[in-house]
Amino acid sequence: MSPTAFLAAAAAVAVAVFVAATTVGNEYVYFAGYTVLQYIVLATAWNILGGYTGYVNFGSAGFFAIGAYTTVVIYKTLQLPLLVAIPLCGLTTAILGLGMGYLTLRLRGVFFAIATLAMAIVLHTLIVNWPFVGGARGVYIIRPRDVAFFDGYMQFLFAVMLALAVIAVWIARLVERSRLGRGLAAIRDDELAAECAGVPTLKLKLISTTLSGFLMGVAGAPFPYYVTYVDPNGAFNLAYAVNSIAMPLIGGMTSWAGPLIGAILLGTLQQVATVTISSALSLLIVGVLLVLFVTLAPNGLVGLFAALSQRRRHG
Amino acid sequence: MVETILAATDIGKRFGGFVALEGIDFAVRRGERVGVLGPNGSGKSTLVNCLTGVLRNETGEIVFDGQRIDGLATHQRIRRGISRTFQIPRPFASMTVRENVEIALLYAGRLATTGPGVAGAGDAAAILDLVGLGAKADESSGQLTQVDLRKLELARAMATRPRLLIADEAMAGLSRAEVDEILALLLRLNAEGISIVMIEHIMYAVMKFSQRLCVLVAGRKIADGDPDAVVKDPEVERAYLGD
Ligand SMILES: Nc1ncnc2c1ncn2[C@@H]1O[C@H](COP(=O)(O)OP(=O)(O)OP(=O)(O)O)[C@@H](O)[C@H]1O
Ligand SMILES: [Mg+2]
């Protein structure tokens, strides 16, 4: 399928999802659906660096939060509409990703992961100590009363996140099948061998951290309007870091479908668990599933399906 | 047209206090076949690493095709036409054999549109056929046998369209028939104009292949010249062959 055809198909699915959500006609569907969609963007973003390039980022919550806080800053200064703020949030975290890439160039494996975690902690501390955006107390955001074409602001946010999810998955698929994606896969398999095959590994890694950062910031951009009250503990929540790793891992890390499937499954499961049991338990479920998949199906669901269909073909 | 394709002078490299290379002069003429001998740990792979930029030499300079390259990153040197294989094969294990070769074609091979190359090897399939991996193009490279992994190393190196190919023990652990196979392949590539440096312990292969022979011992070059003369050199016999 050509990239354009894929985008059209994805958009058609998104429209169908939106129509289905409106027929339920319950505000809660938008609330829960938004979270799942947000995780599709976040997991897809993480996977460009983690899955395609092989660099595990533990700092997703930092990128997500900086995306959200960029919206807060824009809200308090320029007061631009959300749809204009989103690309600016992405730009901010793209620069953050580029900076992280530069600072961690020589780090690999676990050292890279630790550096990303440290960066998220530093960012958290900075935000806590920045009164303009509410510091540790947090900040309230007032949603616009109504938006054109939509039946309430929550429905609008849902539609925005749906569109962002389509764009994120489309970009991931584009990268995956491009020369860039092939180069990233070579880096993931063996960085030195990649360099010796002519792959400019440094440049490609920076593109990867930048693009991944961009999409993570985009995922966090509408967050202040979603929660209407942003504080560092909410924005830098552990759940973002854990889920953005767990979802691609459970879905499968080598293709765009992996994070998508993982986010839909885990995201929905957590929503159900949060409502029926408790939110603490929902993170526990993620942990247990993570352990199960890492030990039993390290290539995720996509890998599992591929292995099964191959076995069937070979009789 | 420069007569020498590679001229490395006074190359020195230390690991901490350990001198791995010292004062190495190493040159390759266009179209030449050079053998490099040396005991284990004598610095052969370290020299390859310095020439390709995987390691940075601390002294000396490297000129390739008339231009200094010792400031360049590895991928830039590869794109200019130096290629190497790894002594311990390093396949892109998640990819098929064909995809391994395609990476090199995509990122380095395509740039070299002129100059000597594999005749008719316009794509991965042709290169794989040449090394005898054609039938395994769609197999996962992680599953290959040792022999096939060495062939894949050569295929990937060739896909970068090199003008100088450095084969770092491409035949280690192979049977006599397989050694002959690789030897024939290297000779064929050379006949098409590619200069080749062969690092090898297998004397038979080195002697059959080399037009010139260099010997490294403990990071120093102790001999360089006609292969028959070099192996009879008393210093070489004492340091390397006599043990
Ligand atoms: N990255 C490194 N760090 C520290 N020491 C190194 C490094 N690479 C090589 N050495 C040391 O430098 C010396 C030369 O190693 P090198 O691999 O160049 O030898 P070689 O001639 O290729 O040997 P072999 O025939 O076993 O392949 C060895 O003593 C080795 O332990
Ligand atoms: Mg060696």
The answer to whether A196 contacts B94, with C-beta atoms less than 8 Å apart, is: no
Kindly report, residue by residue over A247-299, the tens digit of the pLDDT.
999 999 989 999 999 999 999 988 888 888 777 777 788 888 888 888 888 78
* pLDDT for position B120: 38
* pLDDT for position B241: 54
Is the CB of B38 inside a 6 Å radius of any atom of ligand 1?
yes
CATH topology of domain B4-90+162-241: Rossmann fold (3.40.50)
Q: What's the structural domain count of chain A?
A: 1
**Which pair of structure tokens corresponds to residue B233?**
């050199």
Is some CB atom of chain A closer than 8 A to the CB atom of B87?
Answer: no
Whether A229 shows a pLDDT value over 70: the answer reads: yes
Binning pLDDT at 50, 70 and 90, where does residue B207 land? very high
* pLDDT for position B237: 81
Is the CB of B219 inside a 6 Å radius of any atom of ligand 1?
no
**Which pair of structure tokens corresponds to residue A232?**
């560092």
Binning pLDDT at 50, 70 and 90, where does residue B140 land? very high
Q: Which pTM was predicted?
A: 0.91
How many residues does the structure list for chain A? 315
Whether A152 shows a pLDDT value over 90: the answer reads: no
Q: Are B131 and B124 in contact (CB under 8 A)?
A: no
Distance CA A107, CA B121 (A): 38
Is some CB atom of chain A closer than 8 A to the CB atom of B90?
Answer: yes
Please list every residue in chain A whose beta carbon sits closer than 8 Å to the beta carbon of residue B91. 189-190, 193
What are the b/e assignments for A262-286, b being 16+ CB within 10 Å?
bbbbbbeebbebbeeeeeeebbebb
Considering every ligand atom shown, identify the ligand nearest to the alpha carbon of residue B46 and give its number: 1
Grouping H, G, I as helix, E, B as strand and the rest as coil, residue B66 is coil
Whether B112 shows a pLDDT value over 70: the answer reads: no
* pLDDT for position A222: 96
CA angle B27, B33, B39 (to 5 degrees): 75
Is some CB atom of chain B closer than 8 A to the CB atom of A201?
Answer: yes
* pLDDT for position B113: 46
Q: What percent of chain A has pLDDT over 70?
A: 99
Kindly report, residue by residue over A174-208, the tens digit of the pLDDT.
999 999 999 999 999 999 999 999 999 999 999 99
* pLDDT for position A307: 78
* pLDDT for position B122: 54
Q: What's the gap in Å between the CA of A193 and the closest CA on chain B?
A: 6
Which candidate, B95, B44, B68, B100, places its Cα nearest to that of B219?
B44
Whether B2 shows a pLDDT value over 70: the answer reads: no
Q: What's the gap in Å between the CA of B13 and the closest CA on chain A?
A: 19
Distance CA A249, CA A233 (A): 25
Phi/psi of residue A198, each to 5°?
A: 95, 5
Q: Where are the domains of chain B?
A: 4-90+162-241
Is the CB of B41 inside a 6 Å radius of any atom of ligand 1?
yes
Kindly report, residue by residue over A106-133, the tens digit of the pLDDT.
787 788 889 999 999 999 999 999 999 9
Is the CB of B44 inside a 6 Å radius of any atom of ligand 1?
yes
How many Cβ atoms are within 10 Å of A249's Cβ, its own excluded? 28
Q: Average pLDDT in the A79-90 region?
A: 94
Whether A246 shows a pLDDT value over 60: the answer reads: yes
Which of B:195-214 have CB within 8 Å of A? none
The answer to whether A198 contacts B108, with C-beta atoms less than 8 Å apart, is: yes
Domain that holds residue A62: 3-241
Binning pLDDT at 50, 70 and 90, where does residue A58 land? very high
The answer to whether A198 contacts B93, with C-beta atoms less than 8 Å apart, is: no
Distance CA A180, CA B216 (A): 40
Distance CA A75, CA A96 (A): 20
Residue nearest to atom 6 of ligand 1 (CA): B15
Q: Name, of A20-24, A81-85, A102-106, A306-310, the range with top average pLDDT.
A: A81-85
How far is the centre of ligand 2, averaged over its atoms, from the C-alpha of B108 (Å)? 25
The residue assigned the tokens 């339920």 is A24
* pLDDT for position B213: 95
How confident is the prediction for chain A on average, in pLDDT? 91
The answer to whether A193 contacts B73, with C-beta atoms less than 8 Å apart, is: no
Q: Which of B75, B84, B159 minimises the CB distance to A199?
A: B75
How far is the centre of ligand 2, averaged over its atoms, from the C-alpha of B49 (Å)? 10
Is the CB of B45 inside a 6 Å radius of any atom of ligand 1?
yes
**Which pair of structure tokens corresponds to residue B80?**
């200019």
Distance CA A267, CA A32 (A): 9
The answer to whether A198 contacts B90, with C-beta atoms less than 8 Å apart, is: no
Note whether residue A133 is domain-resident: yes
Q: Which residues pair with B61 in a beta bridge?
A: B9
Lowest mean pLDDT among A43-57, A284-298, B40-54, B117-131: B117-131
**Which pair of structure tokens corresponds to residue A130?**
């920045």
Is some CB atom of chain B closer than 8 A to the CB atom of A151?
Answer: no
> Torsion-angle region of residue B117: left (phi > 0), alpha (psi -120 to 50) or beta?
beta
Note whether residue A265 is domain-resident: no
Which of A:4-63 have CB within 8 Å of B? none
Which candidate, A225, A80, A177, A288, places its Cα nearest to that of B106?
A177
Whether B116 shows a pLDDT value over 50: the answer reads: no
Note whether residue A309 is domain-resident: no
How far is the centre of ligand 1, averaged over its atoms, from the C-alpha of B43 (Å)? 6
Is the CB of B49 inside a 6 Å radius of any atom of ligand 1?
no
Whether A235 shows a pLDDT value over 90: the answer reads: yes
